[in-house]
Structure 1
């Protein structure tokens, strides 16, 4: 359980290879942190040693996790709890960009299965455990791409729109239980996933998203934007005329 100054003992990452999630783990490190579990489709690529070297002594382990194994997510969470006890923070960080999804119905369906359906089934499994515990936070990495979808990545954006609606709604459903949800809405982030892509305005590093997330956790926010100025920017872009919106995407 978190200590008096909200430092977690146990962190679970769903999508253990995510550079953003790993930066959040490092930003949350303290003398209280004992256990980090990296849920990965391929545990051999988890770089457990690399993350452990960035921490002050917490045990880091990798466990096989598949976002589209919807029927196995409840048992997966239960197994983590059986091995490590109550979970303080779960970071939901798996996802794909799906560059070819707009032209391929099957690729689009697969993208939805990973980015949205997988987030729903794993998110509910986590929420049930946190509600049972009476404490804990689900941190879900959404995206500003879901605030208003663009022609250039509308399938990906639609999955993030669904994820965002799910996690913010789940946060309301957990109100009063002691558990809560933090939805993180970053813009473009410099990671291996975006390497080689043209940078969008307000592009940030993973460490900046991590700092915003930790600040949101400590202030018990429901939503954080990274960088924070994107909240105002998208407040305007949400209501921009369609012709203007399409022009911005060229």
Structure 2
């Protein structure tokens, strides 16, 4: 059960090697989270992530999970919930893709869409049903500011996140009044080990800053969280730029 500050005691992470997910799990484990499930494709990276979180004193278990294997989602996730009630589910898997390559080869574009949207819909519906049966808990969905308006440079990724964002908000409405809290997190560009070139770009955030925003959102029971917060106003302005002008922007 969540503590007085809203910190979960138990956590399921879907996308167990995501840097944002691990930063969030580490921040929560440093507070009060004592049981963590890391769900992802079996790999040395998944086991290393579990070991890092165990250093905080949490009991960490790994579970084999593949976003693309939607036929196995219900059995896999119901088995986790059967081990004990969960305070929070963090849906954090996704792929950015390679826009020029994906435009040339639709197979890659379809895989991106299936991972970021179809796989997320499948997993979130199962988790939402399980949380509803509990009568409590939070489902945190990692979306993206890219979903606010499709840009020429990443419209495949952006459109998949736009779909996920709309779905998550609808799921939140469907679960309203059930005791289940759904929170959509919209970070801008995130500087990770794989994207050091973003260090000097404007409005760039870090996994740790996203984790801090998630924790604050849980405490406030927010429905939408922007990271950084000022990005909310930037994207609101961009959303209303005429399309002819938008096309000429270097975005």
TM-score under structure 2 length normalisation: 0.93
Moved more, 215-224 or 102-111: 102-111
Whether the aligned pair in 1 keeps the contact of 2:7 and 2:215 (CA below 8 Å) is no
1:142 Cα deviation from its structure 2 partner: 0.3
Shift of 1:247: 2.7
Aligned to 2:232: 231
Partner SS for 2:107 = helix
- 2:117–2:160 contact (8 Å) kept in structure 1: yes
CA distance 1:32–1:212, shift in 2 (3 Å): closer
Q: Which residue of 1 aligns with 2:52?
A: 50
1:102, 1:153 within 8 Å by CA — same for their partners in 2?
no
| SS class of match (2:140) | strand
> What's the counterpart of residue 188 of structure 2?
187
What SS does the corresponding residue of 1:249 show, helix, strand or coil?
coil
Pairing 1:39-78 to 2, within 5 Å after superposition: 39-46=39-46, 47=48, 48-53=50-55, 55=56, 57-78=57-78
RMSD (CA atoms) = 1.6
Paired residues of 2:138 and 2:181 also in contact (CA < 8 A): yes
Task: State the shift of 1:218 in Å.
Answer: 0.5
Residue aligning to 1:96: 95
Alignment CA distance shift 1:122-1:67 (3 Å)? same
Partner of 1:215: 216
State the Cα distance separating 1:198 from its structure 2 match: 8.0
TM (norm. structure 1) is 0.94
Match of 1:28 in 2: 28
SS for the counterpart of 2:154 is: helix
Deviates more, 1:166-175 or 1:28-37: 28-37
Note if 1:247 corresponds to 2:231: no
Task: State the shift of 1:196 in Å.
Answer: 4.3
Which consecutive residues of structure 2, in runs of 5 or more, have no partner in the other structure? none
Q: 1:238 to 1:192 in 2, by over 3 A?
A: same
- What are the Cα deviations for residues 109-164 of structure 1, in whole angstroms up to 9, with x where unaligned? 11111000000000001000000000111111100111001011101110000000
1:5 to partner: Cα distance: 2.8
> Cα deviation per residue 1:59-93 (whole Å; 9 max; x = unaligned)?
1121111001112111111111223x001111111
Residue in 2 that maps onto 1:160: 161
